[in-house]
Amino acid sequence: MMRKVISIILFSIITIVSAKGLDLNSPNGSVKVSVKVSDRVYYSVCREDIPLLEQCHLGLDIKGLSSDKKLKVTSVKSLRISQELNPVTPMKFSKINDLCNAMLIKLSNGLNVEFRAYNDGIAYRIITAAKGDQNGKVKISDEDVTLNLPDDYLLHLQPAKDFTSNYETNYIHLNAKQWKDANQMATLPALIDTKKGFKLLFAETDLTDYPCLFVSANRADGLEGTFSKIALQEKQEGDRFMRITKEADYIAQTSARRTYPWRYFIISKDDRELLESTLPVKLAAKPEIKDTHWIKPGQVSWEWWNAASPYGGDVDFVAGFNLETYKYYIDFASKNKVPYIIMDEGWAESVHDPYLPNKKVDLHELIRYGKEKQVDIILWLTWLTVEKNMDLFKRFADWGIKGVKIDFMDRNDQWMVNYYERVAKEAAKYHILVDFHGSFTPKGLEHKYPNVISYEGVRGMEQMEGCQPENTIFLPFLRNVVGPMDFTPGAMINMQPDVYGGKRPNAASVGTRAYQLALFVLFESGLQMLCDNPTLYYNNKECTDFITQVPVTWDETKALKAEVGEVAVVAKRKGNKWFIGGITNRMERQFSLDLNFLKKDQSYQITSFSDGINAGHQAMDYKKNAQMVSSHSKLQVHLSRNGGYAAVITEME
């Protein structure tokens, strides 16, 4: 991500001699964070003068350092940041205006806290400059992350039974008092509906050398942070899991002089703001990779979901994990200008040995054949195999492999967070892309190392019948806001939930065909899967032609209709072409969309895919339509239950 600095204005340093309230306003004045310091650092947040969070508090418990019960502010430094960002892999906008007001507060206990106020949210982070031990390290016993909610807010959360969460559970939706009674943890991001016309998306970014933040209920019907502790002993279970059997009494051992992760709130008055927010990009670390020309996002054909089972008149070989089948996938990708295929579990003789390909597959012949067809290969691996063979990135690069899909991390402690970064850094040396599957949600590493092209950390279509539109409709407002999402869309066998009967190799999705097409526009991933069988894509050519022309990076995003948990419709631009994608839950809907984002005095053709008249029962029913439109046009859109709408808009000469 390139950062073109326009201006950073530093204001005067102010020395405070007593505990005093400090206010920080966003550039447009709509968002305000008020900070008070006494026994700890307290902050309150409002938008448009409406209190949303009150007397939340933060802090860091460092082993060996006494806690100062009478904290004082020793100085305050204020500044305005204004710069242009150009993300390496732009998920929403290729140019982002990063504008905020910031305040750095120095405290008498040696901690510093930086707050930033944006027009659509606030963020804070702790900064330390302690002496540390002989190695310059400190042990962090705990971090205070306490959100006090002034009312019984509605919470949208992804529960976690423990710190081995795979971030794939269904969301739950309950009031804060109910959450306290439920006695559960939850992952981030969390969405808080204040019932005052505003929503708060709470998440973290710039996470490095530190455990992931989870939240649980506190005694005051709010939320408080909780963290996995340092592992002292581990036990391997199977070929892909290391269980922590003994923990330390601290959550991290880290540099005494550092910045800690950003804790941020996106504050939306209109749910469309959540779909357009770029706050996670603005807070991310600068890229460590200087030369990024080799990082090429794109679509990928995938065999696992459909059990590598092409069939039909052009298939005269036994399908499966073998050379002939993978050549068929490469041929399909080549014909449709899909730049990658993924070879999932089964490409190697054993998951333990990444250097010995399955003899039936003949990986090196596939690499050669793919180069001939302009299709590159991404290989699946367990995280444990990568950890035990960190030199595989050099070997893979020598072979001609372009990426890895690393699976089953299922841990969130400091060691595992560092593992992600070690992998990203080592892979980048050899120009290898990384898709973290079986992972936690994005927390900024994808900007620090932009070769990290996607993450799972979502209840996606791998779950088949377990992936219901009632849950999926929340993803654009929570999970995908914080970063790329490996949801694996593209099913050509579509069913309504009450008649579902899919099973590999005839894997099926819940929701309509138009819903599946819309996901390619709505959902964001630098590596966007085509999950289904090439046979079905050939048999549904007009749907395939639409899917394979949808970009995976964008110049501009415009949310057209948004209601959390109900409906999400966006328009996205790449160059001079616009795409529209929208989905809903179990409710049938009819509405119109304004096309006033199009150029004035320009004629366009729109080609759309909408739910057919019988899609409410036969989910594969859809209607393709083409018509002329302009910026003055209004589109009449009908969504079936669990339905969708997808379209491409092109300029007419």
Helix (H, G, I), strand (E, B) or coil at 17: coil
Note whether 370 and 377 are within 8 A (CB): yes
Order of all β-strands in the sheet with 622-629: 556-563, 567-574, 577-584, 644-651, 604-611, 622-629
Tally of CB atoms within 10 A around 337: 12
Nearest alpha-carbon partner for 208 in 387, 411, 417, 450: 417
Inter-helix orientation angle 323-335/363-373, to 10°: 20
Note whether 242 and 235 are within 8 A (CB): yes
> Could you give the CA distance from residue 578 to residue 316 in angstroms, rounded to a whole number?
40
> Quick check: is 407 catalytic?
yes
> Could you give the CA distance from residue 12 to residue 634 in angstroms, rounded to a whole number?
52
For residue 229, give both structure tokens.
């502790």
Choose the catalytic residue: 98, 462, 524, 611: 462
> Quick check: is 331 catalytic?
no
Note whether 459 and 432 are within 8 A (CB): no
Helix (H, G, I), strand (E, B) or coil at 334: helix
Burial of 61 (0-12, 13-18, 19+ CB in 10 A): middle
Note whether 605 and 648 are within 8 A (CB): no
> Could you give the CA distance from residue 111 to residue 590 in angstroms, rounded to a whole number?
54
Helix (H, G, I), strand (E, B) or coil at 427: helix
Distance of CA 24 to the CA centre of its chain: 29
> Could you give the CA distance from residue 514 to residue 527 in angstroms, rounded to a whole number?
21
Choose the catalytic residue: 206, 273, 407, 532: 407
* List of E strands, 26-95: 31-37, 41-47, 50-62, 73-86
C-alpha separations of 51 from 30, 43, 56, 149, 240 in Å: 12, 11, 12, 10, 47
Tally of CB atoms within 10 A around 34: 18
Tally of CB atoms within 10 A around 38: 12
Q: Using the 8-state DSSP alphabet, how is residue 90 labeled?
A: -
| Catalytic residue IDs | 407, 462
